[in-house]
Amino acid sequence: MISYNTPFWRKQGLAGVGLGNTPWIELCADSSDPESGNGVIATFVVGDRYKRWQLLSDRDRRSAVLSDLATYFGEEALSPVTYDAIDWTADPWTGGAYSAFMPPGVWTGYGDALVEKKINYAT
């Protein structure tokens, strides 16, 4: 979660959503607080990107994410008010993250494991 004083991307006519092939971020979305007026972008580093990202220092991980945000939203994204990283895979209650977003290659690479156990819901 990266916060800014305002959701500056809206002044540019942008929705605050990024989905693409940047080096680190697979997905980001405007998660701004409508009451405070602060701008917040939720970012997700997943799959092989996550494995490489985890090997970086805290400083380099931060720089990597902000660099990708600058690709989507411009130089202003490089100067957040706060930067909070959560390692969802380390949380035993989430199992990885809060969503089932599957980027390209997941179904073809892991699909068999995802459907291995067949459940008969009719009984």
Query: What does pTM read for this prediction?
Result: 0.76
Q: Is 110 exposed, middle or buried (0-12, 13-18, 19+ CB in 10 A)?
A: exposed
Tokens representing 93?
Answer: 């209650």
User: Where in the sequence is the domain holding 88, given as residue range(s)?
Assistant: 2-114
User: Helix 58-73 to helix 47-54 angle, to the nearest 10 degrees?
Assistant: 140
Q: Tell me, what CATH number does 55's domain have?
A: 3.90.660.10
Q: Is 119 domain-assigned?
A: no
Q: Is 34 domain-assigned?
A: yes
Q: Residues 30-87: pLDDT tens digits?
A: 999 889 999 999 998 888 898 899 999 999 999 999 999 999 999 999 999 999 998 8
Q: Is 26 domain-assigned?
A: yes
Domain count, the chain: 1
